[in-house]
Amino acid sequence: MSRDYDVIILGSGPAGFACAMQSSKFGKRALVIEANKKYLGGTWINTGTVPSKALREAAKTIYEFNRRFGDEKQKPYERFRMKDLLQYKNEILENENRRVKDNLIKNQVDTVRGFGRLLDEHTVEVEDHLGDTETYTGEYIMLSTGSIPKEPVNFEIDDDKIFDNQSILELTHIPRRLVIAGAGVNAIEYASTFAAMGTRVTILNDQEDYLTFLDDEIKEVLINIFKQQRITIRNNVELEDVDFNPLRVCTEVCFHEIDHPDNPEVLEAEHVLYLGGRQPNTGQIGLEHTSVQLDDEQFIKVDKYYATHAKNIYAGGDVIGFPSLASASFSQGRLAACHMFSIPIEEEPSEIPFGIYSIPELAHIGMTEQEARKKEIDITIGRAYFKNTTLADISHHHRGLLKLVFETNSLKLLGVHILGERACEIIHTGQAVLAFNGDIRYFIQHVLNYPTYSEAYRNAAFNGINRVNKAGVKYQEILQRDV
């Protein structure tokens, strides 16, 4: 049976975009259906990854300028306008949207604006913004419909005093006091972004801890930096109410410790940013007409090739849940396209890098020290502090730690954990060594450009070998060991 397209893709986020591009490279007819009537790229470009990182970059520039050349008595929010930061962000969004559109056109990928619903496992009905409908058929279907923020329970987002991840990007001024409800990755990134502009930030976390996947030592360094940045984190608390007090001209945030519900506390702030998690866009896309299965949290179930229980339907990105990273979603879309068109591919590696774009950045891959010790692996730790690297002196980015976790006997690298400037970039050096089951001698035996932050790898490797060798100076036997 002849169909309109080889693959129909719901959503133009990273998974959908990558699937469309890869399919076109195979000479396949691809259609992308995007619900947003104005923009392509979904949350990736318009309300999530790109705009938040653009805002962070602008805030970081302000912070560094103020730290080196500014008046310590004057806060950044007294010198700089939010309008300028938003203009910087908006220019980047326009460029990124243009790039996505141009790439789809150049690769002859068709696009349709409207809301797509599955009528069966090969047919999609699209309702445009005028209410007109059109039906398309495809041999395969890729679901990359993303996710939306969860709504707060005890109050409403008004986009004036209380913001979500989308409306915060249209804030008209730099607040002096900000309360963030939630302690996930986005919350940490926004907290450090606003703190860099002089905002006093309080994070209210309804869990006992936050960023529990981090290496304990790295997290301890992060906590100390947050204290310096005047970021306060309150764990194990429940938010009761948020209301504007016209007499005190502030937003009052009422909360209590979960273990002490009868002792409410009140914080005064200019604004509240609610980041209470996200939920997948699976409810209105017609999955009931297919054999696609969902888990308990309504995320789409997929196998290692991102195929669903319906043999011709694939899914990727936020709609399938963890890890919900743009970086991983690109890979998911590409692998799905390869599998649906029977192109030989290697399976995804079990270890992928994670990056947190706080100020400074955090990145890690592989085992943490506590995970390795829990598995009773004989490990040694190699550490390098950024303050001991030349580039840190040149750039005044002294805060940072690069930590290597490796097996003592074989020197095999097990994990890399970095806090510091450009951590999300230099993590890939460690990723490559891990991917090839390498050991820490790689960082010693290969020339690394100087001055760079990457030279911290060499310093950490020598530090680790010092610990293995005990004496601290005799490396020859270890470096020549046959492993």
Instruction: State pLDDT tens for residues 108-166.
Output: 999 999 999 999 999 999 999 888 999 999 999 999 999 988 888 888 899 889 999 88
Over the stretch 342-398, which tens digit does the pLDDT of each residue have?
999 877 788 899 999 999 999 999 999 999 999 999 999 999 999 999 999 888 888
Residue 476's pLDDT band, with cuts at 50, 70 and 90, is: low
215 Cβ contact list (under 8 Å, min separation 6): 364, 368, 369, 370, 403, 405, 415, 417
> Residue 175 pLDDT > 60, yes or no?
yes
pLDDT of 482 strictly over 60: no
% of the chain with per-residue pLDDT over 90 = 68
Residue 64, burial from CB neighbour count under 10 angstroms (0-12, 13-18, 19+): middle
- Among the ranges given (79-83, 170-174, 262-266, 421-425), the one the predictor scored with the smallest mean pLDDT: 79-83
Residue 262 has pLDDT above 80, yes or no: yes
Domain 162-276: give its CATH architecture.
Answer: 3-Layer(bba) Sandwich (3.50)
Name the CATH superfamily for 360-479. FAD/NAD-linked reductase, C-terminal dimerisation domain (3.30.390.30)
CA–CA distance, 55 with 90 (Å, rounded to integer): 10
Q: Where are the domains of the chain?
A: 5-148+279-340, 162-276, 360-479
- Greater confidence (371 vs 261) lies with 371
* 86's tokens: 């938003």
pLDDT confidence tier of residue 169, bands split at 50, 70 and 90: confident
Per-residue pLDDT of 80-112, as tens digits, reads 777 777 788 888 888 998 999 999 999 999 999
User: Please, which pLDDT band fits residue 70 given cuts at 50, 70 and 90?
Assistant: low
Per-residue pLDDT for 266 more than 50? yes
Answer whether residue 474 shows pLDDT above 60.
Answer: no
Categorize the per-residue pLDDT at 477 as very low, low, confident or very high, splitting at 50, 70 and 90.
low
Percent of the chain with pLDDT over 70: 95
User: For residue 308, what pLDDT is reported?
Assistant: 97
Question: Does 324 or 368 have the greater pLDDT score?
Answer: 368
Q: Does domain 5-148+279-340 have CATH number 3.50.50.60?
A: yes
What is the rounded average pLDDT of the residues 400-413? 96
pLDDT tens digits, one per residue of 200-240: 999 999 999 999 999 999 999 999 999 999 999 999 999 99
Confidence of residue 483 (pLDDT cuts 50, 70, 90): very low
> Does the structure show a pLDDT above 80 at 75?
no
Q: Which residue type, as a one-letter code, is found at position 252?
A: E
Predicted confidence at residue 478, as pLDDT, reads 54
Mean pLDDT of 21-48: 91
Please give the mean pLDDT across all residues of the chain.
Answer: 90
Task: Determine if residue 67 is left, alpha or beta; phi over 0 gives left, psi from -120 to 50 gives alpha, anything else beta.
Answer: alpha
Rounded to an integer, the average pLDDT of 249-268 is 91
| Same fold yes or no, 5-148+279-340 and 162-276 | yes
